[in-house]
Amino acid sequence: MSRRRSIIQRASLGLFGAALLAACGGSPGTPAASVAATASAAATATAAPASLGPAAVTIQATDGGITGSSPQFAPVDISIKSGDVLRVTDTGTSEHNLTIDVTGLIPTSSASRSDRVLIAVDLLNRSAQAPINLPPGTYRFYCSIDFGNGAGHTSLQGTGMVGTLTVH
């Protein structure tokens, strides 16, 4: 009897999780399949394989919290070797992420956004890390939370939570 109950509970949790992704993710008009694909891609980018060593560089993402200051990254200019691990630590009161677009620039519209690197940090774990497997060059990074809606952490003009990553 308890094995059957366990199977039913697991199936119920799976269905609940799928419904939650479809109902809570994305913006109005975003198809559920797109939301699920985005969630899957984000999980892939932020999941730290067991073989990842310590981070070569750590960057802090913070917001005004109770002080009311502007959201920002610290430091805003970082250098890293290709393949090294970058850790993002959220020291604020809202969720943040570090995003690098495929162009290496900050997109000029939310529709033109195409993530190449996405390190998402949730408020429970407070940090996430990923290897930066980019060719040598200079890339702009930004927080893509609510990007382009006027209330996001980065504006379409490239102000707010932005910085520059140099890969050697």
Q: pLDDT digits over 76-86, tens only?
A: 999 999 999 99
Nearest-angstrom CA–CA distance, 153 and 166: 22
pTM: 0.66
Domain spanning 50-167: CATH 2.60.40.420 = yes
- Other Cβ atoms closer than 10 A to 124: 6
Measured between alpha carbons, how far is residue 137 from residues 63, 73, 140, 144 in Å? 28, 20, 10, 21
Nearest-angstrom CA–CA distance, 29 and 80: 38
pLDDT higher than 80, residue 167: yes
pLDDT higher than 90, residue 51: no
Q: Please give the helix or strand (H or E) that residue 131 lies within, else none.
A: strand 127-131
Q: Rounded mean pLDDT of the chain? A: 73
Of 132, 50, 51, nearest to 87 by C-alpha is: 132
Q: What are the boundaries of each domain within the chain?
A: 50-167
97 by Cβ neighbours in 10 Å (0-12 / 13-18 / 19+) ranks as buried
Alpha helix (H) residue ranges in the chain: 2-24, 32-46
